[in-house]
A and B are shown apart, each in its own frame.
Chain A
Amino acid sequence: MASESTVQVLIPTPLRRFTDGESRVEVSGATVGDALDALEARFPGIDERVRDDSGQIRRFVNLFVNGQNVRDRDGIATPLSPGDELGIIPAMAGGSAA
């Protein structure tokens, strides 16, 4: 099993109501899925916006590891290294908190 990595998660404005307004939070995890679990543990409600009931990334959500879409890698199983940036972006950016 891969070891845990501390990564930065970049939060888009419409999800910042879950992170006390923070645009960047630090979590640990060996994979993207782990990081999302850790994010949910700290900020309940965020994961169901990103993943559906079956645990898949919602169609309209893109997750990026260091700018690369995880759909082009191993999805939520994509491994994380210390210092990686995990970005969450709705595929189309609409309105967001002013």
Chain B
Amino acid sequence: MPWGVSYFLMKNSEYAMHDRAKATRTTPEQAICGPDAALLASIAESAVARSIGNTPLHRLRRYERYLGLPETIELHLKAEWVNPGGSIKDRTALSIVRAAIKSGQLGPGRTLLDATSGNTGIAYAMLGAALSFPVTLVVPGSASEERKRTLAAYGARVIYSDPYEGSDGAIRLVREMTSVAGDDFFYADQYNNPANPAAHVATTGPEIWRQSDGRVTHLVAALGTTGTLMGTGAYLRQQGAVQLIGVQPAEAFHGIEGLKHLPTAIVPGIYDPSLPDRIMGIETEAAFEAARALARVEGFFAGSSTGANLAAAGELARELASAGQAARLVVIGCDGGARYLSTGLWELG
């Protein structure tokens, strides 16, 4: 598909449509009115919303043996792909949506709008369908076919941003759209919305603490918006001396879905660089390799960012082993492998 053409056609029609509304940009403080009681009640009743979170934490005994780790080093994987939308971003989206309904920012006449490389978009689209609010997403044109079709299945409106501009291009396009048509949209802004890390303070963190019997020593979490590490990390830090490890692509040019190379990207507003103890850079090939090994050794089919987390955890585990330390590492399993079937991750051969 000639992306450039569709992108510019889209740009012109969208802009013509919204040009009339010279409204100011929606800021988090600008509520339309009080909370929409019916919408709030629909969250409580929604089977989809209620099945988000409470995911299993699996000890990876076979993968530990595959890496040749001593008994004293444990790897545990948080299986986020069992969420109804298939990824950890269901938690983020639900938290953002709930907060926006409570504050009155999301209600009648407002469409949820955000830039997303895929998983958060799928979660918003799912919640929009389950709770009856419209969703418009700006997605880089390079997103995988599976993601595009999943968004369409839930009935979301999708605008593709220039694939050569990556996820930051999607962010910039959303900012332009809100600046010309602010009042039509609730800009969810997952990169700057405190409800993103708050989701993990309230759910992911406590689940991990409970499931690891309060004995987690290290948290390994990939960095996209950084919400997972910021929220889960902040909670675990309050409970005990847990080391917080952030994982990012080693290179600016990479193929690990959902992740940001922070030195060259727009740094998310929710990111606090003083929280992580360490940031590890993982090559795309190493991330793919770990995801493939996980599938073959454990039978868990996960995506490339889970692979990046596992590759980082493996490196760390070996360091700890050679230092003779005991450890219980908790690794985030961000999403499942099926979302990448058309990509190089599972290419045969």
Identify the A interface with B (CB < 8 A): 10-15, 17, 23, 49, 58-62, 66-67, 85, 87, 89-98
- Inter-subunit contact B2/A92 (CB<8 Å): no
Main secondary structure on chain A at its contact with chain B?
loop
Interface residues of B in 258-309 (CB under 8 A from A): 258-262, 264-266, 284-285, 288, 304
- Are A92 and B304 interface neighbours, CB within 8 A? yes
User: CB < 8 Å: which of A12, A91, A95 contacts B344?
Assistant: A91
- Are B166's CB and A94's CB within 8 A? yes
Task: Collect the chain B residues with CB atoms within 8 Å of residue A98's CB.
Answer: 168, 264-266
Residues of A with C-beta under 8 A to B168: 13, 95-98
Distance between A7 CB and nearest chain B CB, rounded to angstroms: 15
The reply to whether B164 and A11 form a contact with Cβ atoms under 8 Å apart is yes
Decide if B167 touches A96 in the complex (CB within 8 Å): yes
The 8 closest A-B pairs by CB, nearest first: A60-B255, A95-B265, A59-B344, A95-B260, A96-B166, A14-B252, A93-B166, A92-B257
Q: How far is the CB of A28 from chain B (nearest CB, A)?
A: 21
Stretch of B22-30, B88-96, B139-147, B203-211 contacting A (4+ beta carbons < 8 Å): B139-147
User: How far is the CB of B279 from the nearest CB of chain A, in Å?
Assistant: 14
A60 to B260 alpha-carbon distance, docked (Å): 15
B303 closest partner in A (C-beta): A92
Q: Flag if B166 contacts A13 (CB, 8 Å).
A: yes
B110 contacts the other chain (CB 8 A)? no
Of the candidates A14, A49, A85, A92, which one forms a contact with B144 in the assembled complex, judged by CB atoms under 8 Å apart? A92
Contacts of B36 in A (CB 8 A): none
Q: Considering the chains assembled together, what is the distance between the CA atoms of A13 and B266 in angstroms? A: 12
List A contacts of B4 (CB < 8 A).
10, 85
A94 near B260 with CB under 8 A, answer yes
Q: A85-B4, A91-B343, A95-B262 are in contact. List 5 more A-B contacts (CB 8 A).
A: A14-B264, A15-B253, A60-B345, A90-B255, A94-B224
Neighbouring A residues of B142 by C-beta, 8 Å? 62, 89-93
Instruction: Name the residue on B nearest A60 (C-beta).
Output: B255
> Quick one: which of A11, A49, A62, A97 contacts B251, CB cutoff 8 A?
A49
Q: Are A12 and B164 in contact (CB under 8 A)?
A: yes
A95-B259 CB under 8 A given contacts A59-B285, A60-B288: yes
**B213 contacts the other chain (CB 8 A):** no
The answer to whether A97 and B253 touch (CB under 8 A), given A13-B166, A90-B142, is: no
Give the one of B164, B166, B284 with max A CB within 10 A: B164
Quote the shortest CB–CB distance from B20 to chain A (angstroms): 30
- CB of B3 within 8 A of CB of A60, answer no
CB distance from B136 to the nearest CB of A (A): 19
Q: What are 9 contact pairs spanning A and B, CB under 8 A?
A: A14-B254, A17-B252, A87-B3, A90-B166, A94-B249, A94-B255, A94-B259, A95-B259, A98-B265
Give B104-121 as 1s and 0s: 1 = Cβ < 8 Å from A's Cβ atoms: 000000000000010000
Q: Is B169 part of the binding interface, using a Cβ–Cβ cutoff of 8 Å?
A: yes
Residues on B with C-beta less than 8 A from A66 are 2
Bound complex: CA A63 to CA B254 (Å):
14
Identify the interface centre among A58, A62, A85, A91: most chain B CB within 10 Å of its CB: A91
- The residue on A at minimum CB distance from B340 is A92
Nearest CB of chain A from residue B162's CB, rounded to whole Å: 9
In the complex, the chain B residue whose C-beta lies closest to that of A66 is: B2
Identify A23's interface contact among B164, B249, B255, B265, CB under 8 A.
B164
Find out whether the CB atom of B285 lies under 8 angstroms from the CB atom of A58: yes
| CA of A87 to CA of B142, assembled, Å | 11
